[in-house]
Structure formats: C-alpha cells, structure tokens
C-alpha cells in the first residue's frame, strides 16, 4: 500500500504538478519550465513525459529535480540549468559564460541568409559570438560560407568551440579578440552582431530576468549604444564593397542605429521588426 502523501509522490505526473505550483510565482511559463527540467533530469524529450505519466523517479533523480527546481525559483535561466538551448532548430550548449540565445536573434539569422545564395562562398564575421549561436546557424545553413566568430570572453569561446564540435561544423573559425581589433583590411562580405545594448541603469540588469547572464554581453553603456557605435563605425573598414552589416538592437534604438549607419556611410538602411512588432535588426549596405 502506498501511504506517501501526494506532495512526496515520485511519479512524473505528481512531480510536475507540484513543480508547476512552486514555479507559478516566479516564472510565467511554470508548466513548461517544470517539464524541461524533469525531461533533462531523466534524459528524455518532453513528449516522453506525457507517454509515461506514472513513471516513478528514483531518489537521486528526484533530488536532482528538486534542486534544479529551487534554482529555477531563484531565477536561473532554464538554459543554464539544462546546459542547452534550441536556436534555429539546432541544439546548442549554453553556460553562465554566454547569453542565452533569444528567439528574436533568429530574425538576424533570417536576414543574414537572405544576403547569401544557397551555395554562396561568402566570408562572414560574427562579432561577440558568445555561444556561437549566430555563427553556427549561418554556417549550418550556408555550408560554402566561411564564418569567423570573435569574442573577447575566453569562457564564451569555449562554449562556442563545443557547439562547433557537436554540430561538426568545419566552416567556422573562432578568435579571441575585441571587436575588430584583429582585422585590418576589407575582408568580409557580411558582418553580423548582437552586441550588448541594454542601458547600464536599466533595472532589468540586476533583476531576475537578466542578472544570471554575463553583464559583458548585455550592458551597452549609459545610453545602451556604446558597442553599437563601435560596431557600426568600424564596419566599413572590414567590409568589402557591396557588403552588408546587420545588427540587433533594442526596441527603442532603431532611429539612433539608422543614424549611426548613415553617418558611417551605409546605404539602403532598413530596420526589421521582431515577432512582437518591435524594431530589432537594422541592415545597411556598403556601396559597390
């Protein structure tokens, strides 16, 4: 006879119900979060949880799940707890050393791919590559391209290197470097960047949403535009004539970023909106 009270039941169904209640006040996706953590502990896909709701966890798995749950309740991102995140339908390794790849950054990838024919041999530079998400997505979709990912964080580059190995991508190289510091002459056809663009005083940096991610990848200085200014101003020297620059930026920064592009000599400047309707990615071309 099972005399255990419901809240210490070890079945998948009962643990998910308890976990969802516990996360309800801290996460707006409590049920999904609980499923992702439990699936990670069991080494299963989320859908498997629904096939086996009565499956019972052993003590070690249950303890591990409750520990992850407590950390999630303190705000640690799911991707850091499971060590992975899907981006552009690719499974990427992610750690505390990198920004968690966001769905909105897939817009940048989408626009980058528009600039490159399916078998186009182009040289692409991804500035501040972090986990390598953008570089990996472009290299995977455009195997003839040579993509170079740079970052000044060795911890982030280690994660990017792991992703290249896991996905067996041979057309990406990585370089520890501060923005353009290693590049002198015009050598790229496309430059992409998701630089830090949050204002230093934005309370989100210290709040639950962002405090677990590296400040280096988020803090864009007092007006949020410091890195964007540097990236846009430095691009023409490293872009071949006819090349393109694409940058992600904050929802309110579109007009200022277009102005930076204009001042740097770019033409055909245009901003695309993300799925929430916010201005998110600006592109410009260098006249040929």
Q: Which of 283, 271, 288, 286 is nearest to 238 (CA)?
A: 286
245: left (phi over 0), alpha (psi -120 to 50) or beta: beta
Q: Which stretch binds ligand GLN (CB under 6 A): 73-81, 137-145, 161-169, 190-198?
A: 190-198
* CA 219 from centre of chain: 15
CA nearest to 244, candidates 156, 119, 114: 114
Write out the E strands in 49-130: 84-87, 90-93, 123-127
261 interacts with ligand GLN by CB under 6 A? no
Cβ 133 to ligand GLN shortest distance, Å? 11
Instruction: Encode 162-187: b = buried (16+ Cβ within 10 Å), e = exposed.
Output: bbbeebebebbebeebebbeebeeee
Beta-bridge partners for 126:
149, 192
Tokens standing for residue 258? 């277009």
Distance CA 52, CA 37 (A): 16
* Min CB(99)–ligand GLN separation in Å: 6
Nearest CB to ligand GLN, comparing residues 117 and 252 = 252
Residue 212 interacts with ligand GLN (CB under 6 A): yes or no = no
Contact range with ligand GLN by CB under 6 A, out of 19-27, 150-158, 195-203, 234-242 = 195-203
Query: Should residue 22 be labelled a site residue for ligand GLN when binding is judged by CB under 6 A?
Result: no
Could you tell me the smallest distance in angstroms from the CB atom of residue 123 to ligand GLN?
23
Decide if residue 87 touches ligand GLN (CB under 6 A).
Answer: no
The verdict on 218 binding ligand GLN (CB under 6 A) reads: yes
Share of the chain residues as helix, strand and coil, in percent rounded to the nearest 5: 40, 20, 40
Which position among 198, 205, 226, 272 is part of the footprint of ligand GLN (CB under 6 A)?
Answer: 198
CA 170/CA 191 separation, integer angstroms: 19
Q: Based on the shown chain and the rule CB under 6 A, indicate whether residue 251 belongs to the binding site for ligand GLN.
A: no
Tokens at 185, concatenated: 């002459």
Task: Compare residues 123 and 202 and give the one whose CB is closer to ligand GLN.
Answer: 202
Number of residues that bind ligand GLN (CB under 6 A): 7
Tell me the closest approach of the beta carbon of residue 17 to ligand GLN, in angstroms: 30
Residue 217 vs 286, nearer CB to ligand GLN: 217
**Contact status: 214 vs ligand GLN (CB under 6 A):** no
> 188-193 and 123-127 as β-strands: parallel, antiparallel, unpaired?
parallel
For ligand GLN, which is the closer residue by CB, 164 or 247?
247
Distance CA 96, CA 223 (A): 25
Of 183, 188, 197, 266, the one binding ligand GLN (CB under 6 A) is 197
Q: Please check whether residue 229 is in contact with residue 197, taking contact to mean a CB–CB distance below 8 angstroms.
A: no
Q: Which stretch binds ligand GLN (CB under 6 A): 143-151, 168-176, 193-201, 263-271?
A: 193-201
By the criterion CB under 6 A, which residues form the site for ligand GLN?
A: 102, 194, 196-198, 210, 218
């Amino acid at each position: 006879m099972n005399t255990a009270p419901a809240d210490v039941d070890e079945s998948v169904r009962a643990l998910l119900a308890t976990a969802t209640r516990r996360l309800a006040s801290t996460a707006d996706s409590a049920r999904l979060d609980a499923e992702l953590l439990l699936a990670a502990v069991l080494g299963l896909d989320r859908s498997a949880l629904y096939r086996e709701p009565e499956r019972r966890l052993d003590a070690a798995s249950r303890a591990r799940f409750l520990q992850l749950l407590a950390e999630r309740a303190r705000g640690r991102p799911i991707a850091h707890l499971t060590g992975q995140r899907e981006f552009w339908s690719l499974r990427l390794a992610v750690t505390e050393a990198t920004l968690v790849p966001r769905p909105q950054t897939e817009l940048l990838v989408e626009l980058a791919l528009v600039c490159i024919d399916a078998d186009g041999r182009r040289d692409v530079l991804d500035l501040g590559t972090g986990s390598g998400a953008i570089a990996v997505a472009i290299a995977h979709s455009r195997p003839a391209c040579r993509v170079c990912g740079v970052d000044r964080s060795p911890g982030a580059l280690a994660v990017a290197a792991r992703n290249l190995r896991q996905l067996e991508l041979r057309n990406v190289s990585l370089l520890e470097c501060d923005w353009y510091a290693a590049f002198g002459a015009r050598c790229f056809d496309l430059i992409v960047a998701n630089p830090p663009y949050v204002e230093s005083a934005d309370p989100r940096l210290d709040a639950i949403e962002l405090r677990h991610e590296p400040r280096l990848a988020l803090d864009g200085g007092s007006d949020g535009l410091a890195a964007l200014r540097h990236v846009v101003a430095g691009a023409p020297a490293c872009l071949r004539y006819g090349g393109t620059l694409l940058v992600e930026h904050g929802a309110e920064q579109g007009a200022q970023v277009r102005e930076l592009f204009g001042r740097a000599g770019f033409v055909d400047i245009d901003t695309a909106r993300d799925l929430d309707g916010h201005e998110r990615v600006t592109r410009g071309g260098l006249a040929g």
